[in-house]
Chains A and B, each alone.
Chain A
Amino acid sequence: MSHQLGRVVSEILHQYFGEIVQKVGHDLFIYGSKPIPMIVKTTGLPRKQVVESLRSLVKFDLASFEPSFNEVVADYKLNPDNVLLLIRYPRYLLQIKTKFGSEAEILVEELLQQASCTASVLLVTVAAKYKDDKEKNITLVKLRDIFISIATARYIQQAPVADKSEVPSLEPVATIVPDIDIRQLAQAMATDTLADVNDNIYWKVNFDRFHQDFRDDIMVKAITRRIDENAGELMHLLLQQMYLTSAEWAAESNPTPALDLRDAVHRTDRPDCDRKLLQQYMDHYLRVLEENGAGFVVRVGEAGGGQYVVRGRHAATQLLLAALDHTVTERLGSKAARIFRLIRTKKYIEEDDIQKHAMLPNKECKELTYKLLEEHFISIQPMRKAASSGAMAKAVYLYHIKLHDVAQSLREMCYRALHNTLRRGQHTRAAHARLLDKQRRVRSIVHSMRVRGEPQQHIDDHTRAAHARLLDKQRRVRSIVHSMRVRGEPQQHIDDHTRAAHARLLDKQRRVRSIVHSMRVRGEPQQHIDDVEETLTPPELSTLKDVEARLKQLSAAQLALDKNLFILNWYFMYPH
């Protein structure tokens, strides 16, 4: 619960839910848990808005509540960890798509948007949405099958049920894969009412199941990098065996006999592994995996052809160390990374010995060591000799690494970076917001014209007029920027103006695209479409591409940071 976490959480809430929810969320983050009147008091928002914000927060499981001292009043509390998951949503969708296909993706996406939803409502809404889409060919039966398979695979689970007390507490329930009556749903879809369907089991996405997939993926990829694809596949099979016998996040799994593993190897059908080779040399692969696989797997017994244990906690530590190494290398150079690793290998080491082993010049070595110390990657332990040993007594300074502390500071750094990318993206978008209003106006005019069935000529005229105004304005902005540069105004002012100009361009592109799309739908002649498209000149297009690329780069960076945080949180999952 650090200050940096608060900043990230607040920024995410702002991006996904807007300013009011951000205010409420931040207030809850700072004060811990408090009842509604207190939130109203500190935020200064109207009670209605606070209640609404809390409603959406609780709905998406971003906040929780519990009875306070007075049992009829509820205290609300923010769940910052769940807020961070909002960034991970694209990864969940990608994961489910690779595993179960695009229908599953649509289902999960809808469920993520609804937060929780009954199976019948979910299926009918999705089916209704894609009723006209001939390409995807989505039917209720198909959706039902997919729903059942992802429920069986535990990617979705039943939402907790509230009990009957004044301030209800949510009791988790065991997930039972449902039996969905397809005829009833088809009927409901035809009559467009769900009133007849008696379904009161609510479902929600089981994030933990996705996280297990992510974890497996990281481990398999790491082994593939270290040894080869076959060893990676073997790791994958070991993890699957582990799910059968142990808790998912166990620090060390229960032993898996090699015989079971051999069966699994015979059944595997992964394309990227040489199955014959793996079958033939499975024992060898197990040995190499144990000896050179960064200690992810250890052999614990001889029964059943050898017993193997997957060490989740050890793997998390190893991966954290790898991430730390990369960070030190990038921040302070590879020589510093060498010192960092050296200290880690030797546990406690004196300054002179560092120099001797790292094979670095005395001065450079000292400098890097002190830099590492300054950035809190390493710690120092003074060992004072007893006073009785006389004047010769000199304190010994031992360098060492407090892994838990270093991991904490790395996490803080990730939070900072995440906050900064979010903030930057939001800043770019906020600059565009000024023109969103205008865009909406133009769109609504175009739309109403189309509804009235006016000839295409008029529509085109209108858009051209709007474009002309925009182009004119852009010209003016450019001249202003130019004169500012001439007058030597600070860069920030100029930047603001450039951003405003970008916003207009982005707007314009969106507008032109929507018009072109509607024209295509109506089967307009190509000539008209080209006309509208040509209103975007090549320099404008290149600028637009640039802005879009920037926003894309920022969100890619956010996903990458989230992956980094995943490893860190995995490490913190186990007590240290």
Chain B
Amino acid sequence: MSSSKNDDPISEKILNVAKKNPKGISDKDILAAVPELSAAELVSAINKLLQEGLFDLYNQGGSLIYRLKGQSSKQAVKGADNEEKVVYNLIEDAGNKGIWIRDIRLRSNIANTQLTKVLKNLESKKVIKAVKCVNASKKKVYMLYNLEPDRSISGGAWYQDQDFESEFVDILNRQCLRFLQQRADKIKNNPKGPVVGRTQSFASAVEVQKYITDLGISNVKLEVEDVITILNTLVYDGKAESNVLSDGSKVYRAIESLIPPPGLVQVPCGVCPLILKCCSTGLITPQDCKYMDDWLEN
């Protein structure tokens, strides 16, 4: 075991803590276990452990998490030949982003036919899996079997088997707008003054996310970022505006367009697909325009 080689008592203690928490430990946990440790010592100790490849580093909710490298995955390739080991390591390094078969071939220097055989082998052992990429439907990437594909590969909540779910997005878009509109009127003639009214008419992404979750229209768990994406489409629709509060968080408010529909779109010419072909004489003229007939009929 690597810990036995390590005679440094600090590393020893850290490793012990990490073993007790298979889900990973943060800086705080370490400090709690080894209170006498200074920050500089901690950093050097952890760097050392990382260098030895004992720890995996993760970013969870803004703080770093150290996790003892699992031994089980290593065992999965037991009994495998050298090629399989090489390929497995490459795929493991790629993490949840996956790796393209071409890149594996380039890096491992294994011939194409052999590589496919190796990959098939690993796949049948359920050690790795092939995932189709959302951006390029032909491109397959490989990753470890137990990993959840990254957003850039799976497309996140908006994709179902590589298909973009526009109806789902539309429904969410409408629901978010409804939520914002319920609050929008608070700014009008608010007896407590417009600043209070405005604050009441704002909604943060977290609030919107809670509302959407409570509605229960989504089977998929929506993250705050997903809701922000939806809220941004509302901003692009011109139905909402976003402000940044003093603490840096973004808030949204439903708004109306500055002007009612202008004159151009009130006449059929404004929406006429033939407007560029309309002349004083010829086949398309305002005198016997069918669209205008219909419009004047109502």
Report A's interface with B, CB cutoff 8 A.
Answer: 7, 218, 221-222, 225-231, 274, 277, 280-281, 284-285, 287-288, 291-292, 294, 318-319, 322-323, 325-327, 329-331, 334, 337-339, 341-342, 345, 357-362, 364, 410, 413-414, 416-417, 419-421, 423-424, 427, 491-492, 495, 550, 553-554, 557, 559-565, 567
Q: Is B236 a contact partner of A416 (Cβ separation < 8 A)? A: no
Q: Is A420 a contact partner of B194 (Cβ separation < 8 A)? A: no
Indicate whether B80 reaches chain A with its CB closer than 8 angstroms.
no
- B189 — which chain A residues lie within 8 A by C-beta? 228-230, 274, 277
Given A229-B189, A230-B194, A319-B259, are A416 and B166 neighbors across the interface (CB < 8 Å)? no
Closest CB in chain A relative to B242 CB, distance in Å: 11
Contact of B258 among A225, A287, A331 (CB under 8 A): A225
Q: Is A326 a contact partner of B243 (Cβ separation < 8 A)? A: no
- A359 — which chain B residues lie within 8 A by C-beta? 158, 166, 169, 173, 229-230, 233
Indicate whether B217 reaches chain A with its CB closer than 8 angstroms.
no
- A292 — which chain B residues lie within 8 A by C-beta? 198, 241, 243, 253
Expressed in whole angstroms, the Cα–Cα distance for A225 and B184 within the complex equals: 12
Q: Is B263 a contact partner of A218 (Cβ separation < 8 A)? A: no
Residues facing A in B151-175 (CB within 8 A) are 158, 164, 166, 169, 173
Closest CB in chain A relative to B256 CB, distance in Å: 5
Residues facing A in B174-219 (CB within 8 A) are 187-189, 191, 193-196, 198
Closest CB in chain A relative to B12 CB, distance in Å: 48
Indicate whether B287 reaches chain A with its CB closer than 8 angstroms.
yes
Expressed in whole angstroms, the Cα–Cα distance for A280 and B191 within the complex equals: 10
- A414 — which chain B residues lie within 8 A by C-beta? 263-264
Contact of A280 among B173, B193, B236, B296 (CB under 8 A): B193
Expressed in whole angstroms, the Cα–Cα distance for A19 and B271 within the complex equals: 31
Expressed in whole angstroms, the Cα–Cα distance for A358 and B169 within the complex equals: 10
Expressed in whole angstroms, the Cα–Cα distance for A281 and B192 within the complex equals: 8
Closest CB in chain A relative to B209 CB, distance in Å: 16
Q: Is B296 a contact partner of A550 (Cβ separation < 8 A)? A: yes
Closest CB in chain A relative to B172 CB, distance in Å: 9
Kindly supply a per-residue 1/0 record for chain B positions 88-118, scoring 1 wherever the CB is within 8 Å of any chain A CB and 0 otherwise: 0000000000000000000000000000000
Q: Is B188 a contact partner of A360 (Cβ separation < 8 A)? A: no
- B187 — which chain A residues lie within 8 A by C-beta? 227-228, 288
**Chain B interface bracket (under 10, 10 to 19, 20 to 34, 35 or more):** 35 or more
Q: Is A322 a contact partner of B257 (Cβ separation < 8 A)? A: yes
Given A318-B258, A359-B233, are A560 and B238 neighbors across the interface (CB < 8 Å)? no
Sorted nearest first, the 3 A-B pairs with minimum C-beta distance are A560-B263, A417-B269, A281-B193
Q: Is A341 a contact partner of B269 (Cβ separation < 8 A)? A: no
- B248 — which chain A residues lie within 8 A by C-beta? none
- B292 — which chain A residues lie within 8 A by C-beta? 420, 424
Q: Which residue of A lies closest to B287 (CB)?
A: A427
Expressed in whole angstroms, the Cα–Cα distance for A491 and B293 within the complex equals: 12
Kindly supply a per-residue 1/0 record for chain B positions 223-253, scoring 1 wherever the CB is within 8 Å of any chain A CB and 0 otherwise: 0000001101101111001010000000001
- A361 — which chain B residues lie within 8 A by C-beta? 164, 166
Contact of A417 among B166, B169, B196, B270 (CB under 8 A): B270
Q: Is A342 a contact partner of B267 (Cβ separation < 8 A)? A: no
Closest CB in chain B relative to A45 CB, distance in Å: 21
Mind listing 26 A-B residue pairs with CB under 8 Å? Answer: A225-B258, A227-B188, A228-B189, A228-B194, A229-B189, A277-B189, A277-B191, A281-B195, A292-B198, A292-B241, A319-B258, A323-B259, A325-B238, A325-B257, A338-B236, A339-B236, A414-B264, A417-B263, A417-B264, A417-B269, A417-B270, A417-B275, A424-B287, A495-B288, A550-B296, A557-B267
Indicate whether B1 reaches chain A with its CB closer than 8 angstroms.
no
Expressed in whole angstroms, the Cα–Cα distance for A7 and B198 within the complex equals: 48
Expressed in whole angstroms, the Cα–Cα distance for A218 and B253 within the complex equals: 23
Contact of A326 among B235, B257, B295, B296 (CB under 8 A): B257
Q: Is A561 a contact partner of B229 (Cβ separation < 8 A)? A: no
Q: Is A322 a contact partner of B166 (Cβ separation < 8 A)? A: no
Q: Is A222 a contact partner of B296 (Cβ separation < 8 A)? A: no
Q: Is A281 a contact partner of B194 (Cβ separation < 8 A)? A: yes
Expressed in whole angstroms, the Cα–Cα distance for A553 and B292 within the complex equals: 11
Q: Is B263 a contact partner of A562 (Cβ separation < 8 A)? A: yes
A277-B193, A364-B166, A413-B269 are known; give 14 further A-B pairs, CB within 8 A.
Answer: A228-B189, A229-B188, A284-B195, A294-B258, A325-B238, A326-B257, A327-B262, A337-B237, A359-B229, A414-B264, A420-B267, A421-B267, A424-B292, A561-B263
Closest CB in chain B relative to A475 CB, distance in Å: 25
